[in-house]
Amino acid sequence: MELTLPFHLENFIGGNFIGPLSGQFIDNINPASGEVYGQIPDSNEKDIKIAVSAAQIAWATWRTTAAEKKFSILNKIADLIDQNSEALALAETNDNGKPLWLSKKVDIYRAAANFRFFATGLMHFSTESHSMEDKAINYTLRQPIGIVGCISPWNLPLYLFTWKIAPALAAGNCVIAKPSEVTPVTAFLLGKICKEAGLPDGVLNIVHGTGLNCGEAMVKHPAIKAISFTGSTKAGERIAAVAAPMFKKLSLELGGKNPNIIFADCNWEKMMTTTIQSSFSNQGQICLCGSRILVEASVYEQFKTEFVERTQQLSIGDPLEENKQGAIVSKIHFDKILNCIKIAKEEGGKILLGGNAVKPTGRCANGYFIEPTIIEGLGPQCKSNTEEIFGPVVTLQPFHTLEEALELANATEYGLAATVWTQDISKANTIASKIESGIVWVNCWLLRDLRTPFGGVKNSGVGREGGWEALKFFTEAKNVCIEF
């Protein structure tokens, strides 16, 4: 199949590509060039209403479709993503600003893996039974919820879009999905792939638009019984406020302000190489990035010197070329990051490296680029260490004891992920058990097994994604008790 991209994207509803009922569109901007290169639907509650109607018709048959048939369709979607990986990677880079090599290596590969994983998983998804000696037997039915809403962010567009959609479909639900209005293109192309793969009309409906007009309408619609959302804590608060009184199921994967804890006894070379990645991958626009680097005092100066030197070697520029750092996703986010750096200076932070916008030559002269930025001298209560920046900005803080490291690590309202570097297994286990975080990596970062639960604590959200956790979220448990 050939993935062509029209200037005006359309919603994918009931198996058809249609424009927004309002006739209103939003400019889509290439962040590397700053140029408008397309428009997307500015959908609202009217578009959500017809998407729900299409899903209601489709659910009558999709809910009882045999597991083997669902497996075949979802696996075909994975195959088509693989077959069109070059076109999808280019679309992702043009839409998001990330380096093309990163889109190929991570985003598109993972999108296919998500569908393939849950296609296989549904074939092995089982439920429990409990025998009450000679009295009765209980068994659990896991039944699809019905129509669910999936709202995904702009930082890993197709990767996280499919991370939600695949388990929802595998569990037998019909889906109303909204990608970020900042990065809509690969979601639009996914609609074409699903059509080609034979996914029945109305099972997946992709509606484009803003959170205020489109996302809010999804959350409010009474027929949408569950919401899976990844995005900012502020947006998550609004979704919870609207959905909770309606008793909808909620999975909210929100912000992170993750500590990267480095002890003197670590594998130094591996730690340095990985810390560069965990600090600045995807321009720091990954919720799992280690934006607060905590270093044992005895090696703090050594770390600082080498970390700055290595970061200086990261090339910044056109994401279609072999650069390590691409563009920030949008002008709004570009301005936010620069303002956060300004606040860090006002708080007394010392900029060890970076802190400035970059203007590459050629087609990227008007793009949104920021230098990788390293800041020291800020205490744990400063805004730069408590509020999510979500950009190529990290802070350094020294610690003297394990207890102090834990105190610094737990000093924010976030609790998504943490990284620990030490060769002492006892120390690693102590940190892992006491740190307030949903995910802990020891001597590695972003090493993900799709079978494991994913999610945070505190202001980093509620619920878990991944593996059986995702399939359980997208189903309702019903106990059946039969007396002998």
Would you please indicate which residues are annotated as catalytic (active-site) residues? 253, 287
Q: Looking at residue 200, what DSSP letter applies?
A: P
For residues 381 and 205, give the distance between their C-alpha atoms in angstroms, rounded to a whole number.
44
Residue 245 burial class via C-beta count within 10 angstroms: exposed 0-12, middle 13-18, buried 19 and up: exposed
Q: Dihedrals φ, ψ of 201, to 5°?
A: -55, 135
Please count the other Cβ atoms lying within 10 Å of the Cβ belonging to residue 330.
19
| Sign of the dihedral through C-alpha 168, 169, 171, 174 | positive
Residue 367 burial class via C-beta count within 10 angstroms: exposed 0-12, middle 13-18, buried 19 and up: buried
For residues 314 and 310, give the distance between their C-alpha atoms in angstroms, rounded to a whole number.
7
For residues 301 and 50, give the distance between their C-alpha atoms in angstroms, rounded to a whole number.
60
For residues 324 and 307, give the distance between their C-alpha atoms in angstroms, rounded to a whole number.
16
**111 in Cβ contact with 125 (< 8 Å):** no
For residues 407 and 434, give the distance between their C-alpha atoms in angstroms, rounded to a whole number.
10
For residues 78 and 442, give the distance between their C-alpha atoms in angstroms, rounded to a whole number.
31
Exposure string of 271-296, with b = 16+ CB inside 10 Å and e = fewer, is bbebbbebbbbbbbbbbbbbbbbbbb
